[in-house]
Structure 1
Amino acid sequence: MFSDALALVSLTFAAASLFFALVSDFLAAVAEFADAVCESAAACALLSAFVSDVFAAFAEFPAAVAEEAALLALDDAFVSDDFAASFEAAASRDEVAASDAFVVAVDAEVAADFCDAAAFVSDVFAAPALVAAALFEDSAAAALFNASVAFVDAVPALEKAS
């Protein structure tokens, strides 16, 4: 009966992992939509990096949940092994549940690695946009400086004209 409850908990954690995988897929779609809509390169890169970071955070959460489920199932399997004579069938089911939970945890970790890679790619695309923005800022500052110099040069002529 306890092993059935643990199996139910493991299935619940697996369902939660699937839910967070769906949320991660949704966030990936949002990131693609944001990339299509953005007009400013710098704003687009920042938005893409933010969405990728959120996506990575959601992908890492199911891995933690699945690992916790695996630890609970493994703990129950060890207890069942101590009472192997009376609980052999329950131990077998618990070991299968632990194995399944471990597979889910590994899959979630792989998904988290993909999300980290996506965040890295997003950061790579954000870097040129940030460099372009910095260059634009530098040229705007240079133009402002040149305008200030021209104004200073024009002041004596204006004073002579008045």
Structure 2
Amino acid sequence: MTIDDILAPANVIPGLRVSGKAALLEDLAKRAAQSLDLDAGTILNALIRREGLGSTGVGNGVALPHARLEGVRKPFGLLARLRDPLDFDAVDERPVDLVFLLLLPTGESGEHLNALACVARKLRDPETAAALRGARDAACLYALASARSPSKA
């Protein structure tokens, strides 16, 4: 599984402005709901339940909020680079500025666990994270995340 299997170019958001973790999750849930034709409240509640188990702020300024949901047929992702880093209760207590929302189908599937591992490996790589932070626009963010060569990052 690759990022291309999870993330579409239209689901990359550079310079997202939010006031805090709750507002971020709400914004991402609304965007995902529009793309997947699902209820934003259902998505938000699933994300909040998952965060209740422990923060998905994995460190080094990266968060990977994720949840399994009925109605999701294949792994779905949204990548956001925040305009201003925010407190996300990350494991290293550093603010977060790179966020990859991952929604997965319900049920047990190794393929779906591979989706989370794929995203985590990519965003936790220091060189990739630095490049994503420096990307000039959504097209470059997508190209860097999906391992395609951007024309001018």
TM-score using structure 1 length = 0.19
Pick the structure with greater CA Rg: 1
Query: Higher strand fraction: Structure 1 or Structure 2?
Result: 2
TM-score using structure 2 length = 0.20
